[in-house]
């Protein structure tokens, strides 16, 4: 029994050690450094946006102890992700596992100084979450302890593969990590544009209940009443006006603000989408070309 426990313990230590080769310390604020994960062998480091509190004088310390000056490639506050670049090659990119399951063992790993880890389990896998402040496509919730400096570091499985990127800014009462499916599109956008393009139609709305006959027809109980349309905004240009009730955009039903934010994701900018609205008790359709949120 003792040998089995020791073997299990050694396997856990080996998993943290493997992941640790791709975990860096990121000094971009005035207190405890945060952590980062090697994204590519040629010096790309992904980290949490909230720990990058300055755009210059950023340093990254790799697992081998070498310290490098980093440039900020781009950042996305909505997903709390940032991409840094150092002038280094031959790095060890993290091996990702984009298949977290509830009940999996998981380590939060950080390198605010020396390598550190805490153990827990995956308690939930969910998403997307679309709101005015947060725009994430998927998340992993765990009960790991996020020690100071762990944000930007990886959530690691029992084989040393990265399940997600940890962020203390994404959850109040739980530890939250972003899986590869949520991280990769943002990083690709940051590499291309330096920011994430998100859609904008220029309306102010409030949720309303639909009249029973229309609710039955559309198979949804609520929509968004337009209480204001910005002059020269995409919606106003398309003919949408105050008092219209938006019930669909593109091929998606719109029942609340989260539905609207979900449609206006990074891939929506520049697309022409069919808006379905109720006006005077009648259903109308108009084409809206999505703009970019400033």
Q: Which residues are catalytic?
A: 50, 80, 151
How far apart are alpha carbons 29 and 214 in whole angstroms?
A: 53
């Amino acid at each position: 029994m003792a040998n089995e426990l020791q073997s299990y313990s050694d396997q856990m230590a080996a998993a943290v050690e493997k992941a640790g080769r791709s975990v860096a310390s990121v000094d971009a604020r005035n207190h405890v450094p945060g952590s980062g994960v090697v994204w590519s062998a040629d010096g790309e480091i992904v980290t949490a946006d909230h720990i990058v509190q300055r755009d210059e004088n950023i340093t990254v310390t790799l697992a081998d102890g070498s310290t490098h000056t980093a440039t900020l490639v781009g950042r996305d506050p909505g997903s709390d992700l940032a991409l840094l670049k150092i002038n280094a090659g031959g790095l060890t990119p993290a091996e990702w596992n984009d298949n977290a399951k509830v009940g999996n063992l998981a380590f939060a790993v950080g390198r605010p100084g020396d390598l550190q880890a805490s153990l827990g389990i995956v308690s939930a896998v969910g998403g997307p979450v679309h709101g005015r402040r947060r725009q994430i496509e998927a998340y992993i919730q765990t009960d790991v302890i996020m020690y100071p400096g762990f944000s930007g570091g990886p959530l690691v499985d029992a084989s040393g593969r990265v399940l997600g990127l940890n962020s203390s800014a994404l959850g109040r009462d739980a530890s939250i990590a972003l899986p590869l499916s949520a991280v990769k599109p943002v990083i690709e956008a940051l590499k291309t544009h330096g920011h994430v393009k998100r859609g904008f139609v220029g309306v102010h709305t409030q949720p309303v209940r639909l009249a029973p006959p229309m609710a039955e027809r559309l198979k949804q109980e609520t929509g968004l009443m337009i209480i204001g349309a910005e002059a020269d905004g995409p919606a106003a240009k398309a003919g949408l006006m105050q008092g219209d009730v938006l019930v669909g955009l593109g091929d998606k039903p719109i029942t609340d603000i989260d539905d609207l934010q979900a449609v206006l994701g990074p891939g929506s900018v520049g697309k022409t989408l069919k808006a379905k609205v109720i006006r005077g008790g009648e259903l109308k359709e108009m084409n809206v070309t999505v703009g970019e949120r400033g």
